Amino acid sequence: SGQIEAHYWLEEGDSTKAPDIMLNHYVKLFGSVRTQGSQKMLMVFKMIAIMNSNEVCTHVLEVLNARYKSEEFASKGSDTYATNVDSMNFNSKTSGDDSLGLEGKQLAVLQAV
**How many structural domains compose the chain?**
1
Question: Is residue 96 domain-resident?
Answer: no
Question: Is residue 55 domain-resident?
Answer: yes
From CA 76, how far away is CA 74, in angstroms rounded? 6
Task: Count Cβ atoms within 10 A of the Cβ of residue 31 and give its class: 0-12 exposed, 13-18 middle, 19 or more buried.
Answer: buried
The predicted-structure confidence for 81-111, as pLDDT tens digits, reads as follows: 555 555 555 444 444 556 666 777 777 776 7
Question: Is residue 21 domain-resident?
Answer: yes
Question: Is residue 97 domain-resident?
Answer: no
From CA 107, how far away is CA 73, in angstroms rounded? 34
The predicted-structure confidence for 37-63, as pLDDT tens digits, reads as follows: 889 999 998 888 888 889 989 988 998
Question: Is residue 94 domain-resident?
Answer: no
Domain extent, residue 59, equals 5-89+103-112
- Looking at residue 65, its pLDDT comes to 92
Question: Is residue 15 domain-resident?
Answer: yes
Q: When comparing pLDDT for 82 and 14, which is higher?
A: 14
Instruction: Please give the C-alpha separations between residue 11 and each of 14, 37, 72, 105, in angstroms, as whole numbers.
Output: 5, 26, 45, 10
pTM for the predicted model, two decimal places: 0.50
- Looking at residue 1, its pLDDT comes to 60
Tell me the mean pLDDT in the region 63-75.
Answer: 89
